[in-house]
């Protein structure tokens, strides 16, 4: 199996062109049909696959770090009368179920990152749709601050998935339609079941697009709207920081980065994730890459490789090693830094921790060595894990520590901090934990009493208890675990993000396996062929 690379650079893009001019950037979608992620299909009509979205994710991240002067990015296309026709249907038809769901999840995480750039980084986005905008293409437009559709009597926006493929828009389109754009649900119902979509005045009147512009005035109006969006931005980024390659060492059993290691035991369907503490206290003047950025970029890459390249790895232990006080010192330095660059580092950490929350694997955090350092931002990994096992040692060297990082900045998709989610319904409990953490390290036995650790055991019982727990977990149905974990991890209020990812975990997982879509006579299976799909008509 060839490993999937989630790293790229604008000089190597096959499907996008990124240009900047002062406070404006333009991302032109120009999908090269001859360079799909995997052979077997052609990317026609600006349809996209994983390779296209990897480049888009890279472009958004580079705009945030490497182009701090840019305040608005216009996303457009250079095909005549086509903006984007959505995810490539033949790619979906050829893909495994696991790949389809993870593809949808990654694509939506990229769109959420675009929305986060507008909300927190002073980087607005404008979708300039000079042609057909269908499926995932319209979902990308919905993630932007504004959408402009050309008024040429032909171009439409559409969600054709339900009538054509017997599936759903895969990257949050339904939720964004009614929750974000506030489209009336009866109108949304018509829209989502009309394969050809809606164009012109009705698209504007129904709130599906923000502006309707003729071809003769297209360039003028797009430029005006981009300038207007840029003028509204008050957040300052920078100084500029160039993102360097991660260059992990990859073997069949292990992926090794500078601070992160992912190991896989394919026979046992288990793995291990290790994050190492910094070697020095970070500086955030952008003269060099701080641990706070590098380690989390590495963790991000490892999580994506885990999702796509190791679908049968069911349970992972999560360990940390190094100097806990140095982790806390880096957190303090990051909190005190006033540069826009420092803010982007913290926002990236928050995004990666959300990726961790949304990863469909069982995570067991383990503190069983004296150099374990679940402290500050690394404690978030233990709080976000499904269970946390701690060894009780006589010297009380195995401990956890809080820092300013645990005070609420790293909110989950629910809007709660991981401490608040852990103690949901117990008012003030998280603050008491933070107050205790300010007094010093919390050893294993006390951590269990306070509710931070799930289980603390002495060296007589610890190894067997952990081994049995991992073996039992690995023997359970991955499907049931995915649903269970997604339900338990996100306690508390529902948000646009929790709705989207909950539905990805439940509805998409279910619909992608139904015979009406992917069966022998299903709509997705037969797309492009003369046969008509044969549906099972029972509602379930």
**82 has which bridge partners?**
132
pTM of the model: 0.96
| CA neighbours closer than 13 Å in the CB half-sphere of residue 377 | 32
CA 434 to chain centre: 28
Residues 146 and 314: their CA atoms lie apart, in Å, by 40
Residues 28 and 417: their CA atoms lie apart, in Å, by 37
| CA neighbours closer than 13 Å in the CB half-sphere of residue 214 | 2
| CA neighbours closer than 13 Å in the CB half-sphere of residue 41 | 21
Q: What's the order of all strands across the beta sheet hosting 131-134?
A: 81-84, 131-134, 156-158, 198-199
Residues 301 and 497: their CA atoms lie apart, in Å, by 21
> What 8-state DSSP symbol labels residue 409?
T
349 exposure class (CB count in 10 Å sphere: 0-12, 13-18, 19+): buried
Closest C-alpha to 210, from 145, 285, 272: 145
**Tokens representing 181?**
């754009």
Contacts of 342 (CB under 8 A, 6+ apart): 284, 334
Hey, what domains does the chain have and what are their CATH numbers? 10-231 (3.90.226.10), 249-479 (3.90.226.10), 484-526 (no CATH)
Residue bearing tokens 């005070």: 407
pLDDT of residue 14: 97
Q: What's the order of all strands across the beta sheet hosting 211-213?
A: 16-21, 24-29, 72-77, 124-129, 146-150, 211-213
User: In this structure, are residues 483 and 474 in contact, taking their beta carbons and an 8 Å threshold?
Assistant: no
Residue 488 vs residues 65, 102, 327, 444, 499: alpha-carbon distances, Å: 34, 20, 28, 24, 14
Phi and psi, residue 76, nearest 5°: -145, -170
Residue bearing tokens 């979205």: 53
pLDDT of residue 508: 81
User: In this structure, are residues 421 and 492 in contact, taking their beta carbons and an 8 Å threshold?
Assistant: yes
Residues 430 and 517: their CA atoms lie apart, in Å, by 45
pLDDT of residue 1: 61
DSSP assignment string, 418-470: HHHHHTTT-TTHHHHHHHHHHHS-EEHHHHHHHTS-SEEEETTTHHHHHHHHH
* pLDDT per residue as tens, the chain (540 positions): 678 999 999 999 999 999 999 999 999 999 999 999 999 999 999 999 999 999 999 999 999 999 999 999 999 998 889 999 999 999 999 999 999 999 999 999 999 999 999 999 999 999 999 999 999 999 999 999 999 999 999 999 999 999 999 998 888 999 999 999 999 999 999 999 999 999 999 999 999 999 999 999 999 999 999 999 999 999 999 999 999 999 999 998 999 999 999 999 999 999 999 999 999 999 999 999 999 999 999 999 999 999 999 999 999 999 999 999 999 999 999 999 999 999 999 999 999 999 999 999 999 999 999 999 999 999 999 999 999 999 999 888 999 999 999 999 999 999 999 999 999 999 899 999 999 999 999 999 999 999 999 999 999 999 999 999 999 999 999 999 999 999 999 999 999 999 999 888 888 888 889 999 999 999 999 898 999 999 999 888
Per-residue b or e along 327-342, where b marks 16 or more CB atoms closer than 10 Å to that residue's CB: bbbbbbbbeebebbbb
Residues 294 and 301: their CA atoms lie apart, in Å, by 11
């Amino acid at each position: 199996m060839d490993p999937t690379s989630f790293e790229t650079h604008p000089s190597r893009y096959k499907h996008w062109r990124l240009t900047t001019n002062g406070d404006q950037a333009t991302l032109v979608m120009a999908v090269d049909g001859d360079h799909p992620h995997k052979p077997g299909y052609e990317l026609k009509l600006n349809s996209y696959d994983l390779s296209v979205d990897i480049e888009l994710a890279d472009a958004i991240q580079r705009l945030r770090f490497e182009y701090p002067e840019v305040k608005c990015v216009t996303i457009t296309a250079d095909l005549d009368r086509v903006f984007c026709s959505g995810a490539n249907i033949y790619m979906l038809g050829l893909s495994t179920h696991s790949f389809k769901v993870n593809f949808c999840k990654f694509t939506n995480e990229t769109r959420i990152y675009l929305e986060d750039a507008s909300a927190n980084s002073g980087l607005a986005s404008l979708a300039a749709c000079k042609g057909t905008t269908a499926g995932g293409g319209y979902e990308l437009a919905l993630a932007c601050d504004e959408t402009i559709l050309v008024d040429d009597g032909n171009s439409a926006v559409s969600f054709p998935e339900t009538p054509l493929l017997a599936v759903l828009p895969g990257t949050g389109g339904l939720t964004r339609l009614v929750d974000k754009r506030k489209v009336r649900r009866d109108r949304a119902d018509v829209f989502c079941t009309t394969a050809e979509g809606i164009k012109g005045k009705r698209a504007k009147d129904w709130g599906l697009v923000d502006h309707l512009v003729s071809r003769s005035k297209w360039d003028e109006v797009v430029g005006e709207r981009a300038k207007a969006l840029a003028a509204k931005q008050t957040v300052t980024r920078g100084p500029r920081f160039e993102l360097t390659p991660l260059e992990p060492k990859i073997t069949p059993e292990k992926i090794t980065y500078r601070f992160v290691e992912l190991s896989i035991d394919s026979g046992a369907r288990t793995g291990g994730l290790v994050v190492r503490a910094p070697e020095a206290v970070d500086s955030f003047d952008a003269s060099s890459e701080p641990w706070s950025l590098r380690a989390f970029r590495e963790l991000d890459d490892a999580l994506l490789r885990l999702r796509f390249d190791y679908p049968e790895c069911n349970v992972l232990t999560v360990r940390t090693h190094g100097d806990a006080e140095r982790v806390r010192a880096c957190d303090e330095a990051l909190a005190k830094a006033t540069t826009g660059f420092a803010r982007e580092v913290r926002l990236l950490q928050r995004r990666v921790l959300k990726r961790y929350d949304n990863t469909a694997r069982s995570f067991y955090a383990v503190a069983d060595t004296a150099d374990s350092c679940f402290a500050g931002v690394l404690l978030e990994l233990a709080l976000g894990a499904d269970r946390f096992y701690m060894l009780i040692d006589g010297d009380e060297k195995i401990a956890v520590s809080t820092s300013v990082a645990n005070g609420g900045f790293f909110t989950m998709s629910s809007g709660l901090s991981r401490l608040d989610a852990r103690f949901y319904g117990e008012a003030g409990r998280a603050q008491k934990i933070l107050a205790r953490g300010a007094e010093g390290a919390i050893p294993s036995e006390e951590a269990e009493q306070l509710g931070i650790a799930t289980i603390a055991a002495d060296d007589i019982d610890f190894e067997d208890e952990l081994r049995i727990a991992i073996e039992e977990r690995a023997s359970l149905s991955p499907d049931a675990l995915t649903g269970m974990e997604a339900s338990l991890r996100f306690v508390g209020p529902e948000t646009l993000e929790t709705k989207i990812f909950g539905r990805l975990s439940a509805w998409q997982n279910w619909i992608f396996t139904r015979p009406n879509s992917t069966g022998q006579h299903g709509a997705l299976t037969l797309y492009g062929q003369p046969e008509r799909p044969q549906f099972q008509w029972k509602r379930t």
